[in-house]
Structures are given as structure tokens and as C-alpha cells.
Amino acid sequence: MADFDHIIIGSGINALVAASLLGKAGKRVLVLERNETIGGCLLTAEVTAPGYLHDVMATTMVLFLTSPAFAALGDDLAARGAEFCHTDTPTGVLRKDGSHLIYAMDRKRNIDAFNARAEGDGRTFDAEMAAMAGDADFVFSLLGGNLWSGATAKKVLKETWKRGPRGLAAWFGEALTPARGYLETTYVSDEA
């Protein structure tokens, strides 16, 4: 163990990113994993039927692809054969009764699909996406930044000035609310 500068326990995406960045910085890193495969919850598995492979938790990769870590590691990953395949229908919902809803990269298509399930759900989705677009700079600076940094403090102060202290507290309260209750009270259709 003395041969390593850092020892990382577990091989989930965050551990692998940390090990890669440390390695790029010239550090000697040992990653230890108790499971048969690396990647943590990111794996390919047959979860619905024989022969159908799913990239479990693949939505996490979207955050990785837009992160500073990917900016630092993307070329190295590509040089080693890593390739990300994109689709215009990246996710969806499949329920036990066979009902489903496919989410597209096209907002209008999603609005129409939501309205087809329950009139008004498309308008609700459109309003939610517009609100998210208005908050995107703040949200992604929190997700992609160092939480305890001057830059983050500056962003939070800017949002406090913009929304007021109570408004910002309300925003955080809503942002931290579990999704299930929010979704069940916001949308009519079970699929949405």
C-alpha cells in the first residue's frame, strides 16, 4: 500500500473520475472494488427480458458528459475507445401494465406526447421546462462547481439578491422535495 499516493475504495463513476484525475496529475492510485465489475451502479444488464440489454443508471452519464471532469478526461477516454452514443429518444417510462411514455430530445414532441396521455400535462411540462431554463445557470453552477468556493458563494449571493432570502429558501425547499410527491400532484397521467 505504501506504493500508492491514494487508495480509493469502490469503483463507481465518482471514484473512477477521481482516480483518473489523480492519475493525470501524476499520482499513483489504487482503486479497490469488492464487486465482480467496476462502475458502481453504471452497468449494462438484462433487467427486463432475456437478450434486452439496458445501461442501468445511464442518465448519470448526461451529467458526466456536461461536467468539468469530462472536459478534462474526454480525449483520454476517446483515445482508449470510449464512445458515447446519443439518441433523440434518450429515456422513457415502461410500466408493468405495458403503458409507456418515451421522452424525446424535442420539447414539442414531449409536449404532444404528454398531452396525448392527459390533456394539460404537456402545458405543465412546457412550463416546468421554461422554469428550469430560467434556473439552469444557477442549478448547473451548483452541480458542476466546488460547493465551498468563492464562485459558488457569489452565485448564491446573486440568487439571494434576485429572489430575496425567503424566495431563495423556498426555491431550495422545492428543489429538495422528493420527486414522487411532486410528480403525483403535478401531472395527471401515471406515465408522465
**Sequence spans of domains, the chain:** 91-192
- Which of 43-47, 59-63, 67-71 tops mean pLDDT? 67-71
Where does residue 28 fall: left (phi above 0), alpha (psi -120 to 50 degrees), or beta otherwise?
beta
Confirm if 192 and 121 have CB atoms less than 8 A apart.
yes
Quick one: pLDDT at residue 44? 84
Grid coordinates representing 91 are 429515456
Distance CA 37, CA 57 (A): 15
Over pLDDT 90: what percentage of the chain?
59
Reported confidence tier of residue 157, pLDDT bands at 50, 70, 90: very high
Mean pLDDT of the chain: 90
- pLDDT tens-digit map of 2-58: 899 999 999 988 999 999 999 999 999 999 999 988 888 888 888 888 998 888 877
Burial-class residue 113 by CB neighbours within 10 Å (0-12, 13-18, 19+): buried
Q: In this model, does residue 62 exceed pLDDT 90? A: no
**DSSP alpha helix (H) spans, 66-175:** 68-79, 107-117, 121-144, 150-163, 165-175
Distance CA 117, CA 20 (A): 44
The residues near 104 (Cβ < 8 Å, ≥ 6 apart) are 88, 89, 110, 113
Distance CA 122, CA 110 (A): 7
Helix/strand/coil for 46: strand
Distance CA 18, CA 10 (A): 11
Q: What is the mean pLDDT of the segment spanning 88-115?
A: 91
